[in-house]
Amino acid sequence: MNNFLENDQSLESNFRSVYLFGRNVATYKFAFAKTILELGSSDKSFVSLEDLSPVFAKYMLEHIRDGKRQITSSSSKFINALELYKEQKITWDLLMKVTEKEGFKNVIDAFHNIPNVDLNTTFYEKSVQGKRLGITLTDSTHILNESEQRENLFNEIEGRWNLVESAWTERNPKLEVRFDDDLEQFFYLKPMSAERYLYSHERVNLTSVRNPLNGYQKGKCFYCYRSISVESGHSNTCDVDHFIPLSVQYTSKVDMDLNGVWNLVLTCQDCNRGEQNGKFARIPHESLLNRLYKRNEYLIESNHPLKETIILKTGKTSKKRGEFLKVAFSYASSIKGSGWQPAEYYDIGF
């Protein structure tokens, strides 16, 4: 895996690495991450499978009701039970029995597994109390629930979940995600047929752009590292900024794809449009280009579809992606100049 945890072993970054970079053959890890966060808000330590089941099933049902694929395999007893409950063909009690028996077979053991990385922090341990199987939440989970990033974590999980299940539903690992600048929302065009590069005009909305991008910036402003929120109406609600301003596109004879995921970053309001030193439509200092490359590589290390979208636009190798950014930045700088930087930094980088 990349250096997401290098020089940053915070609880938030360790937890984020689980759902951002862990491999997925089912969406259970997303539901389980939300379950751990919810249960960690109490003083309770041991949680039996019986107590885990209603919370875990609740989060799974929220997505089952949308009709999108939750597994890559052809069938699952747990998914089948969720579908039957949705169709009112089995009772809640029966669903709980199936969840307790089938829902946790892989996710509890695999939750902390990240490719090529051993987490220094775990958020629970498998345990037994009397005859009841379950997990014991660690102090890390309870401390995490006191973090100012807690609500961001819920939203980030939801955003990533939405992207993954959409790619699985379309059975297209190279699903191209697009950005609606007015709504600040990711979407894709429905494929016309099995031929993956033929698209209709039917639009499928995915998620607010803030939710899936925030985790890769560790909940910090791209420019000054100040803590940001993806929730609307907060004093630190983030803005969505084009690293290379859209106005550059108007002078180019070729489509630079400045609305592409590769060029979108989340910023604090002061950096984006502050009266004292707002970026507005200025070109950042060249030193910030490497930060954009680093953020994009975090996305590349994650699973589709943002990964595939960036690769499609910027290159199949890290070298080509770096060259793409340099060429785009050089062209933009030749038109508008460059050099904007934040007035100060508030935290370590991401």
- For residue 200, CA distances in Å to 1, 147, 190 come to 36, 43, 6
The CA distance from 231 to 51, in Å, is 29
- 199-208 and 185-191 as β-strands: parallel, antiparallel, unpaired? antiparallel
199: left (phi over 0), alpha (psi -120 to 50) or beta: beta
**Which of 7, 45, 9, 23 is CA-nearest to residue 119?**
9
pTM over 0.75: yes
What is the amino acid identity at position 7? N
Name the DSSP letter for residue 26.
Answer: B
Below-50 pLDDT ranges, the chain: none
Q: Which residue has the tokens 């609307």?
A: 232
**Which of 28, 34, 99 is CA-nearest to residue 69?**
28
The tokens of 206 are what?
């995915």
3-class SS of residue 294: helix
Count of CB atoms within 10 A of residue 237's CB? Answer: 14
What pLDDT was estimated at residue 163? 93
What pLDDT was estimated at residue 198? 58
What pLDDT was estimated at residue 303? 75
Cis amide prior to 212 (ω within 30 degrees): no
The CA distance from 30 to 13, in Å, is 16
Count of CB atoms within 10 A of residue 55's CB? Answer: 19
Q: Which residue has the tokens 């709980």?
A: 96
Bridge partners of 137, per DSSP, are: 124
3-class SS of residue 285: coil
What pLDDT was estimated at residue 195? 53
What pLDDT was estimated at residue 174? 75
Determine contact, residues 324/204, Cβ cutoff 8 Å. Answer: no
What pLDDT was estimated at residue 23? 86
What pLDDT was estimated at residue 196? 52
What pLDDT was estimated at residue 334? 94
**49-64 helix and 77-86 helix, angle to the nearest 10 degrees:** 60
225: left (phi over 0), alpha (psi -120 to 50) or beta: left
